[in-house]
């Protein structure tokens, strides 16, 4: 952690100190409309994760087809194995678009005047909880996706086969589901190491760009406040003792890392700069104090924000 912490010499005081009830927060009447809209997206998140976790790929069928190009039975078997998988991949991609809209709705609610970000997060805890749930889902999805190389192999085979059949003037039913434009967008999505996080980062950047009358600080302060609240909760026994489940600790860590990454994308100088309002030294210490198996992926996600790869080795 040494070299990394050397770039974090500034002491930041007066962090927001309050308990964000990630387990039990319920929407007030003022939150209800946005909460319902976002909830309609989040209620599908577990089935998306289950579908990704169950993804086995069609590696063997594809290898058999490639090694035996004249065996029509093997070609058909590979194609019939890949097509349902591509439909599933489209479902995941489509969900990312819904998640993007949900995030922007929450950002709009949690950054609008006249309240400060701290006031928003305190007053609108149910929306803050949904924001946290989006980040938690995103990091879980990307952790799973990074362990499934079959996704890109399957999709590459699908695109090659589609192109070959198009040259031969063959129309395939699946093209009504996944046309060329959709395939191009999906290809860019799955080419990312962390596609859901990339989607949210772009959504946050677009939110800032499209809302020119809203000061940038409203968005960056919302993100830095959320990171600070998570850090304080994690390092304060009086707060962690209020969690009814140990899973909430990991949830809180994932959320903290997620908002740091979004902040890094939106803030002109990034999260590790001295002008950052996030206590990166404290956030990293909180993670390092946890069991290594729980935080390795989260620390790696923060490492990727650092331009200096020598510093990365020191986390």
DSSP structure string for 168-205: TT---GGGGTS-HHHHHHHHHHHHSSSHHHHHHHHHHH
Task: Return the structure tokens found at 240.
Answer: 């962690």
- The pTM for the full model equals 0.88
DSSP string spanning 213-251?
Answer: TS-HHHHHHHHHHHHHHHHHHHH-HHHHTT-SSTHHHHH
For residue range 18-68, list pLDDT tens digits in order.
688 899 999 999 999 999 999 999 999 999 999 999 999 999 999 999 999
pLDDT at 292: 86
Rounded to a whole number of angstroms, the distance between the first and last alpha carbons of the chain is: 4
- Structural tokens at position 191: 């080419």
**Residue 169 zone, left/alpha/beta (φ > 0; ψ -120 to 50; rest):** left
Tokens 């192999």 appear where? Answer: 153
Q: Which two tokens stand for residue 59?
A: 């590696």
Q: How far is Cα 106 from Cα 34, in angstroms, rounded to an integer? A: 7
Burial of 241 (0-12, 13-18, 19+ CB in 10 A): exposed
String of DSSP letters for 16-57: ------TTT----TTTHHHHHHHHHHHTTHHHHHHHHHT---
Instruction: Return the pLDDT at 3.
Output: 36
Do 117 and 57 contact (CB within 8 A), yes or no? no
Query: In this structure, are residues 110 and 121 in contact, taking their beta carbons and an 8 Å threshold?
Result: yes
User: What pLDDT is stored for residue 164 in this prediction?
Assistant: 79
Task: State the Cα torsion 17-6-293-258 to the nearest 10°.
Answer: 50
Given a contact cutoff of 8 angstroms between Cβ atoms, the answer to whether 256 and 290 are in contact is no
- The candidate with the shortest Cα–Cα distance to 138, out of 190, 89, 99, 178, is 99
Tokens standing for residue 269? 């100088």
**Residue 106 tokens, joined:** 């929450």
Cis peptide before 292 (omega within 30 of 0): no
Low-confidence ranges of the chain (pLDDT < 70): 1-18, 166-172, 307-315
Confidence at residue 17, expressed as pLDDT on a 0 to 100 scale? 61
């Amino acid at each position: 952690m040494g070299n990394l912490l050397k770039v974090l010499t500034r002491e930041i005081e007066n962090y927001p100190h309050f308990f964000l009830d990630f387990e039990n927060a319920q929407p007030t009447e003022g939150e209800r409309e946005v909460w319902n809209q976002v909830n309609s997206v989040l209620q599908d998140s577990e089935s998306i994760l289950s579908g990704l976790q169950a993804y086995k790929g069609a590696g063997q069928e594809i290898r058999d087809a490639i090694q035996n190009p004249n065996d029509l039975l093997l070609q058909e078997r590979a194609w019939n194995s890949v097509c349902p998988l591509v439909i599933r991949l489209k479902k995941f991609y489509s969900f990312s678009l819904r998640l993007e809209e949900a995030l922007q709705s929450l950002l709009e609610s949690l950054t609008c005047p006249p309240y400060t970000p701290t006031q928003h997060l305190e007053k609108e805890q149910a929306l803050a909880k949904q924001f946290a749930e989006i980040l938690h889902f995103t990091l879980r999805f990307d952790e799973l996706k990074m362990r499934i190389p079959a996704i890109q192999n399957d999709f590459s085979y699908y695109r090659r086969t589609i192109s070959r059949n198009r040259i031969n003037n063959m129309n395939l039913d699946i093209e009504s589901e996944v046309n060329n434009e959709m395939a191009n967008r999906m290809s860019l999505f799955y080419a990312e190491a962390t596609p859901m996080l990339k989607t949210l980062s772009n959504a946050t950047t677009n939110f800032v760009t499209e809302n020119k009358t809203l000061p940038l600080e409203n968005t960056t302060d919302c993100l830095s406040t959320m990171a600070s609240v998570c850090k304080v909760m994690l390092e304060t026994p009086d707060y962690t003792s209020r969690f009814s489940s140990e899973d909430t600790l990991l949830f809180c860590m994932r959320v903290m890392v997620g908002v740091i990454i979004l902040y890094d994308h939106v803030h002109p100088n990034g999260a590790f700069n001295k002008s950052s309002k996030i206590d990166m030294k404290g956030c990293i210490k909180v993670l390092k104090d946890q069991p290594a198996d729980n935080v390795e992926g989260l620390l790696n996600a923060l490492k990727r924000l650092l331009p200096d790869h020598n510093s990365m080795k020191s986390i």
